[in-house]
Structure 1
Amino acid sequence: MRQTRFLILAFLFISQVLFAKTYYINANTGNDKNNGNSKNTAWKTIWKVNQQTFKPGDVLLFASGTTYDGQLMPKGSGNKKNVIKIDRYGKGEKPQINGMGLKESALYLYNVEYWEVRNLKITNKGGEPKSRRRGVVVRAEDFGECHHIVLEDLEIFDVNGLLEKKKGGGSAILWQNMGKEVKTRFVGLQILNNYLHHCERNAINSKGNIMRTNWYPSLDVVIRGNLIENIPGDGIVPIGCDGALVEYNIIRKGIDSMPIGDAAAGIWPWSSDNTLIQFNSVSDHRAKWDGQGYDSDFNCKNTTFQYNLSFDNWGGFILICNNGFKLGEPMNMGTENTIVKYNLSINDGIRPYKAHNKRYFAPTFHITGPVKNTSIHHNIIVIPNKEKNEMENHVVEFQDWGKTFPMKTVFENNIIRNESQAKILERKTTDFVNQNNDIQEGFDYNERNPQKILEQLQSNPLFKNDKEFMKLYAFIKEFVKNNKEISF
């Protein structure tokens, strides 16, 4: 009996492999009346692709240098051993999908799993900016567990969504899981090595299960190696995840086009647990409110920021916050156990005009609302003189979002170098421990290169023979080597 069952399973597996097909699409030489099974019998349009239901192991190859108008919405799912792939063939530019602003996204993966999409250019620009316009949308609805979606080596640009978050915004990539009938989440979603630029409002964001009363977080989400440029809003925002990994991403060349009071930051989780954010660089964020490089936002537990670089962000290095007005509701069980360690911040907090609170508000660390058990240690903070005398110079500022101040914050073993005097504003925070920090004021700030800054600090007692410091140094050294176009 066991042998018979094994033979049946083996037959099914071999059948899937044998019947998997490679399909070719060529906008220049193809014809939708062809079978699509060879370069000489390629299909012509994505309309033809959208009519098919693909099977495990199938491969879709678009000809390099070709362009397609409309929305690509492939159907069918692969399986664990036989994923479905989209890629390109031939030499030349990546094939380009122009959504033309006609639909929500130019690439739409809806209720499918085990797909890998690589080497496409994607745009979705309409005549006027429009709410909820995206480049790529991955959506699972009443699906259960949606496995193994990979977006890799894509270039997504010219997506003109709205700048206002409350009106729906827009983004290069959105993933969303929802389910009224069936609990739904992503397992193994990967967003890797993409180039995202000139998109409004955001780069990579998500919508997921945020209610703790119905907690069903996405698992094994990895966002790695992406380059994000010329995007005014949020950079990378995992929502409704447990154990998301965000690493080796670069966000830079931010645009000062956000409306007054519309908040955004570089990398931050919301309604997520055990998020690890490491080996990233965020610079030039210019949102008119917040505008930090990093953020540990509300309804998050056990978020760790380590070995990251942050520089020239108008709002500061990091925000740690909890909405006290909504604390205790299903969508906000608190912000707890945030760890910020072994990061390098240079020249953050340089907003050149008053924010909507009528202050030049841009502390290096902004901690507000009833956050609990925050640990900030072994970070290097370099604060040059501000451009204007009236600009504030606060290393740490506590505030009471929701009329409650932070609780149990430890700020220790950090190195702070100020050209002028800086302040730590405690106000009415509870159980703030501020100890053993190496603070030097009035130093001559003449070195911007992050590698050289760390080399000057290697012999400091706080970092001598420290393996974690050497992880930060190794990352910074490689970053400087690979980004010579940045004039530190």
Structure 2
Amino acid sequence: MHGFLTVKAQGISSGSYKFKVPEVNNAIKYVSKEEYKRTIFVDAVKGTDTNDGLSTDRPIRTLDKLAKMQLVFGDEILLKGGQVHEGTIELTNLNVEMSKGRKIHIGSYGGAKATLDFKGYPAGIWIQNTSDVIVSDLKLTGNGGPDTKTFMSRKDEKNKGQRYAVRILSNNSIEQSLVKNIIIFNVDIQDVFLLNPVKESRACNQWDMNDGAGWGWGVFGEVLKGNGIRNVDIKYVTVRNVSQMGIRFKGSGKIDGSLPRNVDNVHIENCTVYQSGGPGMQFNKCNNSYMKHCRITESGNRNDHRKWGRGSGMWTWGCVNFLLEYNVFEGAQGIADCCGAHIDFNCRNVVIQYCLSRYNCGGFIEILGLNYNCSYRFNVSINDGWRNMKDKPTQDFWGKVGTPGCLVTVNGHNHDKRYYGPYQSYIYNNTIICTEEGNAPYENPFVFNIATSNRGLVMMNNIFWFAKRADAGWSMHRWKDGEDYDAAYDFRISSGRKKGNNVKADARGSYPAEVRPMNEKELARMGLVMKNNLYKLYDPAGTDKFTKVAKALPEGYWDENALGGDPGFANVNGSEAEDMIPSNAGLINKGMAIPHLESDTTSYGVYFGGLKVLRDFFGNKIKGNIVGAIVPNAQKK
């Protein structure tokens, strides 16, 4: 059955930790509340295409026959469970005005899930400009195969040479191109590749994932000059071993700070992505959406030469009002970002809370330019940021690494050559653990990367529990066209181009820059509130904001009210959130109230619930204010 196996204890390791392979089920779980005018049964073994397919006694045999039956709203298509059905199911340009409130359901019958093998086809299930569709209780696989005439003749698809388990598309091929009310429930996706096996690895041979190279995707919803995608529920979906992303939604149009972005109300719950070649999930120009109770393991995986080999567990771009909570991000691999979850640029009100992030090579926190009111709060990070370019095992395995792992990245990177923002970022009450034993065999550089372009940044009540002093930001200061160019970090700014006969421009036409510390006015403009964080490395004899954390933070960094002491973790070298439950109530209860930034013109600060948080990582009530994400002697609920 194409490798849909249940494995509990095996997995791939990061250091000494083993990632579990996700469990899948073979049960039909979706209970429909709809009444269907016509149910079509497909039996790949006993069916006959001369049958009408309208009963289990007279099933049709092939999906080719199904395609000729002119599917309409009110139809239910059921594939016989325990069988492999080859081909594709397409719902294209069905007029929503004709639905009259009816749905189209695609699922299984016979007591078990059916497998839809779309090898050689563009998609397993293709939903284009069609609303009110339910897909449930199926296994989908499409591992390479020849390009069929159907695939090559498709003219309405922007990125030819891609393969999707489920493709949701809104484009301008018809007037009513709004796609809404889509449900995907209890579906397992595995082994989706455009190509047959190849000898030479394609991993990271290109920077852009959409460069026409040809990939395999899990669920991909996209707007191509259409009216948009709205109201999508994806629940209990497992995506395993695809060459690109597990789940992705992508809107269209320019991002200029105005609405609408044209993907709305996407709800992802209880989903799993395992060993995707690209990011586990990615959301682009999405509004009013959430991702909850999901697990993403080993995104950016390279166990197959056909994979991209780079990717954060999840990242957002151009999103507004997006909540991510109660998720697990673990084992992200590859160059550049590759965090557990990161907030790329042009976002507003993206909040990551109550998530467990562990063993992600790129790091834990990343907020980039032109973002407003984004937040990481009440998360637990364990041994993130292990990628180190000087680490020989890493170099041998990855080749070009890109940049070292970075625990905290808050910089203004965007598509412009200049850095802008981010603006009004709130990073508080996170428990961040990096231990030498837990990170073996890697040597973690513990990088902090805070750009001078920030305008409003709260960093309070966090626990920074690592054994060595953090390194400064990895990006270089450069000079071009009479101005500091692109990168300024660690409370230093470019003050002019370096002079001398041996100073040469780089490939971008920029020169190494002279740098100087920021002056008082420039620091004030950053609006940095960094205080009341707890450090493993702490100098109780320090006399000012710098020296108390001189052993912990890079040179030039400070904490207005640094805390020291032992939280009394249950097992500091463990890999589970419950290992980081503290017992030292006297220390943990020294938290401070989170201030509303002076530069923040919103009434809320953090869009989802405001700045005051009433419960900890495990759902326990918080009395007063605490340090870290977990109340002392917490109980896991």
**What is the TM-score with the length of structure 1 in the denominator?**
0.81
Classify 1:359/1:253 alpha carbon distance in 2 versus 1 (closer, same or farther; 3 Å). Answer: closer
CA separation of 1:433 and 1:73: change in aligned 2, threshold 3 A: same
Alignment match, 1:97: 116
Equivalent position to 1:83, from 86, 103, 110:
103
SS of residue in 2 equivalent to 1:302:
strand
Q: In structure 2, what residue type is equivalent to 1:427?
A: F
- For residues 41 and 447 of structure 1, what CA distance do their matches in structure 2 show? 57
Following the alignment from structure 2 to structure 1, what is the Cα–Cα distance between the partners of residues 166 and 181? 16
Aligned partners of 2:461, 2:146: CA distance in 1, in Å? 51
The letter for the 1-side match of 2:49 is: D
Give the match for residue 377 of structure 1.
428
Which digits, 9 at most, give the CA deviation of each residue in 1:355-396, with x for residues without a partner? 8997761111112212111110111111112547864122x3
Question: 1:313: how far off?
Answer: 0.5
Determine the structure 2 residue equivalent to 1:233. 278
> Hey, what does 1:47 align to over in structure 2?
64
1:437 counterpart (533, 539, 551): 533
For 2:426 and 2:246, the matched residues in 1 are separated by 29
- Structure 2 SS opposite 1:62: strand
Distance in 2 between the 1:238 and 1:263 partners?
A: 16
Q: Is the counterpart of residue 194 in structure 1 residue 237 in structure 2?
A: yes
1:307 to 350, 354, 360: 354
2:491 is equivalent to residue 427 of structure 1:
yes
1:20, 1:55 within 8 Å by CA — same for their partners in 2? Answer: no
- Name the counterpart of 1:156: 189
Match status 1:347 vs 2:347: no
Contact 1:337 1:375 in 2 (8 A): yes
Partner residue of 2:27? none
* Aligned equivalents of 2:432, 2:35: Cα separation in 1: 59
1:287 partner SS: coil
Distance verdict in 2 for CA 1:243–1:34, change over 3 Å: same
Is the aligned partner of 1:115 residue 2:133? yes
| Residue 321 (structure 1) shift | 1.1
The residue that corresponds to 2:372 in the other structure is: 336
RMSD, aligned CA: 3.4
For residues 308-338 of structure 1, what are the alpha-carbon distances to aligned partners after superposition, in whole Å with 9 as ceiling and x for unaligned? 110011111122112xxxxxxxxxxx21111
- For 2:339 and 2:180, locate their aligned partners in 1 and report how far apart those are by CA, in whole Å: 33
List runs of 5+ in structure 2 lacking aligned partners. Answer: 1-33, 148-159, 195-201, 413-419, 474-489, 493-522, 539-565, 593-611, 622-628
Contact 2:275/2:299 (<8 A) preserved: yes
Q: Aligned pair in 2 of structure 1 residues 303, 216: CA closer, same or farther (>3 Å)?
A: closer
Given residue 446 of structure 2, which amino acid in structure 1 is its aligned partner? N
Name the residue aligned to 2:228.
185
**One-letter amino acid of the structure 2 residue matched with residue 243 of structure 1:** N
Q: 1:217 is matched with which residue: 241, 244, 262?
A: 262
Q: 2:456 aligns with which of 385, 401, 408?
A: 408
Structure 1 residue 91 displacement after superposition = 2.4
2:85 pairs, out of 65, 68, 73, with 68
Partner of 1:286: 333
Per-residue deviation, 1:33: 1.4
Asked whether the 8 Å contact 1:147–1:187 carries over to 2, the reply is: yes
Secondary structure of the equivalent of 1:206?
A: strand
Cα shift at 1:481:
8.9
Residue type at the aligned position of 1:175: G
Counterparts of 2:410 and 2:166, CA distance in 1? 34
Report if aligned partners of 1:407, 1:431 keep a CA contact under 8 Å in 2.
yes
Q: Evaluate the alpha carbon distance shift between residue 128 and residue 320 of structure 1 in structure 2; reply closer, same or farther with a 3 A threshold.
A: farther
Matches of 1:47 and 1:471 in 2, distance apart? 50
Q: Does 1:106 align with 2:111?
A: no
Q: Which amino acid aligns with 1:454?
A: I
| C-alpha distance in 1 between matches for 2:365 and 2:130 | 36
Work out the CA distance in 2 between the residues paired with 1:252 and 1:122.
20
Q: Using a 3 Å threshold, how does the CA distance of structure 1 residues 121 and 19 change in structure 2: closer, same or farther?
A: closer
Report the TM-score when normalising by structure 2: 0.63
1:26 aligns with 2:43: yes
CA contact (8 A) 2:302 2:309 kept: no
Q: 1:131 to 1:427 in 2, by over 3 A?
A: farther
Q: 1:263 to 1:359 in 2, by over 3 A?
A: closer
Between the aligned partners of 1:175 and 1:263, the Cα distance in structure 2 is 21
- Which range is displaced more, 300-309 or 130-139? 130-139
Conserved in 2, the CA contact under 8 Å of 1:342 and 1:472? no
Classify the secondary structure of the residue corresponding to 1:364: strand
The answer on whether the counterparts of 1:26 and 1:44 sit within 8 Å (CA) in structure 2 is yes
AA in 1 matched with 2:589: P
Native 8 Å contact 1:98 1:122 kept in 2: yes
CA distance in 1, matches of 2:590, 2:241: 41
Determine the structure 2 residue equivalent to 1:328: none
Counterpart-to-counterpart distance in 2, 1:454 and 1:47: 57
What is the one-letter code of the residue matched to 1:416?
A: F
The reply to whether residue 250 of structure 1 matches residue 286 of structure 2 is no
Tell me the equivalent position of 2:365: 318
Corresponding residue pairs, total: 443
| Structure 1 segments unaligned to the other structure (5+ residues) | 1-16, 323-333, 483-488
- Per-residue deviation, residues 199-223 of structure 1 (Å, max 9, x unmatched): 0111111321241368442221111
* Distance (Å, rounded) in 2 between the aligned partners of 1:84 and 1:227: 25
Report if aligned partners of 1:194, 1:227 keep a CA contact under 8 Å in 2. Answer: yes
Structure 1 CA distance, aligned partners of 2:529 and 2:630?
Answer: 29
Deviations 1:113-140 (A, max 9, x none): 1000001111111159995222221112
Cα distance per residue 1:225-281 (max 9 Å; x no partner): 111111131111121211111111101144542999975211121111011111100
User: CA 1:211/1:435 → structure 2, altered by over 3 Å: closer, same or farther?
Assistant: same
CA contact 2:388–2:443 (8 Å) conserved in 1: no
Q: 2:244, 2:403 → 1: CA distance?
A: 24
- Relative to its length, the structure with more helix (as a share) is 1
What amino acid does structure 1 have at the position aligned with 2:423? K
SS in structure 2 at match of 1:49: helix
> CA 1:173 to 1:476, structure 2 compared with 1: closer, same or farther past 3 Å?
farther
Match of 1:133 among 128, 148, 163: 163
CA pair 261-98 structure 1, distance change in 2 beyond 3 A: closer
